[in-house]
Amino acid sequence: MQINIRPGTAEDLPAIHNLVLELAEYEKAAHEFTATLEDYQRDFREGVFEVLVAEQEEAVVGMALYYMTYSTWKGKMLYLEDFVIQAAYRRRGIGEALFDAFLETAKDKGCRLVKWQVLDWNEPAINFYRKKAATIEQEWWNGKIFL
pLDDT (tens digit, 9 = 90+) per residue, 6-49? 999 999 999 999 999 999 999 999 999 999 999 999 999 999 99
pLDDT for the residue numbered 39: 98
Q: Could you read off the pLDDT of 82-137 as tens digits, one per residue?
A: 999 999 999 999 999 999 999 999 999 999 999 999 988 889 998 889 999 888 88
Is 24 contained in some domain?
yes
pLDDT for the residue numbered 119: 86
Is 146 contained in some domain?
no
- pTM, entire model: 0.92
Residues 6+ apart with CB under 8 A from 52: 5, 6, 7, 8, 63, 64, 66, 98, 101, 102, 105
Active site residue 129: yes
The catalytic residue among 40, 79, 89, 129 is 129
Reading phi first (left if > 0) and then psi (alpha if -120 to 50, else beta), residue 133 is in left
pLDDT for the residue numbered 69: 98
What is the C-alpha to C-alpha distance for residues 118 and 125, in angstroms, rounded to an integer? 7
Is 137 contained in some domain?
no
Range of 93's domain?
4-131
102 closest CA partner among 90, 93, 115: 115
Is 20 contained in some domain?
yes
Question: Total structural domains in the chain?
Answer: 1
Which CATH number goes with the domain that contains 42? 3.40.630.30
Is 141 contained in some domain?
no
pLDDT for the residue numbered 57: 87
Is 144 contained in some domain?
no
Is 64 contained in some domain?
yes
Is 82 contained in some domain?
yes
3-state SS, residue 18: helix
